[in-house]
Structure formats: C-alpha cells, structure tokens
Amino acid sequence: MRLFFGGIETETNTFSPIPVGLENFNEGGMLRGDEVFDPVRGSDMAIYARELGLDVVGGLYCQAHPGAAVRRDAYETLRDELLDRLRAAGPVDIVALNLHGGMVAQGYDDCEGDLIARVRAIVGPRVVIGSELDPHSHLSPAMYENAILMCYRENPHTDIRARGRELIDLLLRTARREVRPVTAVFNCRMADVFQTQREPMKSFVARMRGLEGRDGVLSISIVHGFRRADIPLLGTRVIVITDDDARRGAELAERLGRELFELRGQCADAVHPMDEAVASASAWDAAANGPLVLAEMADNPGGGSPGDATYVLKALIDSGIDRIAAGVFIDPLAVRCAIDAGLGARLTMRIGGKACPLSGPPLDLDVTVTAIDPAAKIVLGGDTVVPMGRAVALRFAQGELLLAENRWQTYGPSIFADLGIDLRRQRVILVKSAQHFKAHFEAITPHSLTLDSPGVCVADVTQLPFKRLQRPLWPWDDDPWS
C-alpha cells in the first residue's frame, strides 16, 4: 500500500496587519521528502503510516504562523510544488494531508478546497484522499466531496496526534475496501467558541466519541469556524462520516448540529472587560491563592495579532500592582537593544507598541537586563518545542518582562523559567494567549481570567468590519433559523 503525505498549514485572520509570505513558511519549517519523518519537526501522521508498514512518500510539509491573507504567489508556489511532488511519486493508493482548514490567500477564499480538488484531479476518483484539520477552520464542498476529513476534537488542541492516527487508520481501511465512507454535513448557522475542557462541551465531545464505531458511524467532527476570517465560508458545521449510510449521517449531523446551536454562547470562559480584570488583579491575594493569570486575548499571536500591544501592561502598572510577570512580548527591536546593552545593563527601553495602530502606544520603562537566551523556546512536553528566537528578561520597578523575536503565543511557562523568572512568586502573570496557555500554566496556578482589551483579536467579533459573511448567522443575527 503506497501513501503520499503532504501539507501546507496556516490560519488566516483577514483583519490582521501581519503579512504572510513564503519566508514565513520557511521560518515555520519547510520539510521535503524524507524530512517529513523527522521525529522532532516532522509529521506524526507520516511517521505513524510508515510504522504501519505502508510505503510512504514524503512530499512537501510546511507551516506558517497565523497572520493576514497569504500572498498569492506564496500560496501558489507551495501548492504547485506539493502537486508536482505528488505527480512525481507515481501511482499511490492514499493521499494523506496535514492541513489547517483556515487558510485564506489573496484571490483564494478556500485554499484547502482548491488544493484538495487539484489533488483529486491528479490521482483520479478511486484513490483515497484524507486530511486532518484544526476545528478553527472553514468547510467547503470542494473539501468534503473529495476527501475524508477529521478535525481535532479537543479545544485547546490536545489530541492532534491521536486524531491524525485515527485518520490514517480510516484511510487505510477505506483503501482496503473494508468500509465505504460517506460524508454528511450540517450547517449550524452560527460561529461560536467551543472549549472542550469545560462543560457543556466536555460532555458533548464524550457523547460524540461514544457514537463513533456504532451503527456504521465512522467519525464525527465539529468545524468550529475561525471567527476572524471575512469569507462566506465562515461558520460552524458538523461532519458525520458513515459506512455507506448517507441518510443516517445526515440525520445524526443535523441532530448534533441543532443541539450545538442550543448551546450557543455557553461554551467558552467568560471574557472580562480590561478594567474589571485589572481591578480583580489589584485585589488578588496571591499569598493565599497563588498567582492569577490574565490572558490577553486581543493580542494573541495565535489568532494573527502582533503580540506587542501595551494596553493591559500599562493598566496593570498604572494600578500600582507589583510582582507582575508579563510575556511573551514580541518585540525584536527591543530584544536586540537589550542584547547589545548586555547582561546586567540598566537602561530606559521603549517596549511594544510598534506593529500597528492597534498595538497601542509604546511603554518607556527603566529596566535591568537580567537574562539573555540566544535560542529561546517553549517546551510543551514530548517532542513539541516552539522556537522563540532570541529572548531577554527585563526587570522593572513592578515586575519582570519577557521579550522574544519570534511571533508565537505564550503556550507554556517553560520559557519564563529558562530566563530566570519564578512565576510562583508573582501576583499576576500576563500572557499573550486566549486559551491554549491553560493546559500548561495550570501546573503553576489554576486561577486565570480571560480579558478583553483593544487589539487585533477583540473578543466581540461583531465589532469587526465584516462584509462578506453568509447571513443569517449567529451572533450577528439572533435567530438565523427564522
């Protein structure tokens, strides 16, 4: 059994000021051929398929961090290389893809649908095509009519590896003609946030899992939708894949989809206005409770934000709070200045407020350079390492700052420890993230608040200047079914 593997991944915030071109994919890692089997940088899907004894041909696998619409020439260059490598591989039985599902390029609302349809045109109707997707994606007929699709179930995404292996298993069963997957899709007419580590979604996902493997149901996925992409495809969908039972799949997809709609607005942590969150931090008893994490959703690089907004840090400083640990601020110029000044240097530095008007005014702080790391990283367990480039720790009157070059969200606390910042001794920990920090910061403290503030990724998406949504759609319309 011969399998071709490839993937082009990024998530597009059409309101982001951060350009995404070919260089950004190079920074994320460009793997070709056998490089896709690298145990650290490669794809677990490709590695797992080879472990199963399949003849796996590595194509092109690359990723870029979220930002604005991908440059047209960059997307077309990467797409065409992947397709050329597929043609060169010769006859295959399976094409397995790692895609995000939320990529938009200049001139392409549906990059994944475009790519999958072109793959289908090359391999013909009988070859099995499948893709693992992030649930913060979009869904088009070009995608689900040509490929078997599985989204991660969990949000935060703690099951990427497990879900990819499930997909490979299903693709292999399909290629062996043991099952005949048929896809049904239900449009929930909404775009919401669904956090699966909390109720009611925790139980909903458990029930989804219980339905799989029974009565011919092969797989169930929820496409949450990425609510910062101004395209007609935006919205929540339920995907049900059955073993040659289209009617059963359609009925189940609609039932689950309507149940999901009834949970709208209930499936995410509360978001607190910035002034309320700062007031809570001012009154916080860290001696009794440990530190309080404030998650700065609006400046989350994982959603396409620059990571250098200053609003929340300034509010914390102005409130008189001490023992603040804040980061990771993405400020390459400030990092370079600190490194040039040297370890132990005392200087006045201009922090943040550089990338765009929504970054806010820069902060001028008297700081001491307490640590320098020429190759900083965030370690998330196993082989998962997030490269942050050069990073520095700065001490100022009311706390400590962590600055880095590479634009990634603050997934975990390891980078603070690496640069000598003891988070357990802080009152407030300000992180540039929306929710993915939780899985790793809970070892430091279980207490967190997600706050709303000015920025690229404001919590209330109805404030954004959408023009192309397919209406009616909740929360823009109260009753999209009327």
Compute mean pLDDT per 10 residues along the chain, 482 residues long, and list them.
98 96 90 94 95 97 96 98 98 98 98 98 98 98 98 94 97 98 98 95 97 96 97 98 98 98 95 96 96 97 96 98 97 97 97 94 97 95 85 98 96 97 97 92 95 93 95 97 92
In the sheet with 217-223, reading across from the earlier edge strand, the strands are 181-187, 237-243, 217-223
Judged by DSSP in three states, 279 sits in helix
Indicate if 63 and 113 belong to the same structural domain.
Answer: yes
Indicate if 124 and 169 belong to the same structural domain.
Answer: yes
pLDDT at 380: 87
Indicate if 171 and 248 belong to the same structural domain.
Answer: yes
pLDDT at 83: 98
- The domain of 441 spans 271-461
Indicate if 278 and 425 belong to the same structural domain.
Answer: yes
Indicate if 419 and 377 belong to the same structural domain.
Answer: yes
Residue 443 lies in a domain: yes
Task: Decide: pTM greater than 0.85.
Answer: yes
Cα gap 304→18, rounded to integer Å: 7
Cα gap 302→13, rounded to integer Å: 10
pLDDT at 119: 98
Indicate if 358 and 442 belong to the same structural domain.
Answer: yes
**Radius of gyration of the chain from its Cα atoms, rounded to whole angstroms:** 23
Contact 13, 67 (CB under 8 A): yes
Contact 100, 44 (CB under 8 A): no
Indicate if 238 and 315 belong to the same structural domain.
Answer: no
Packing angle, helices 72-89 and 111-123, rounded to 10 = 20
pLDDT at 185: 98
Beta bridge partners of 20: 70
Q: How far from chain centre, in Å, is Cα 156?
A: 9
pLDDT at 222: 98
Indicate if 364 and 454 belong to the same structural domain.
Answer: yes
Residue 474 lies in a domain: no
User: Number of folded domains in the chain?
Assistant: 2
Which residues, at least 6 apart from 67, have a Cβ–Cβ distance to it below 8 Å? 10, 12, 13, 16, 18, 19, 20, 24, 304
Amino acid in the structure at residue 475: P
pLDDT at 40: 83
pLDDT at 245: 98
> Would you give the end-to-end CA distance of the chain in angstroms?
50
CA max distance for the chain: 70
CB atoms within 10 A of CB 100: 24
Total number of residues shown for the chain: 482
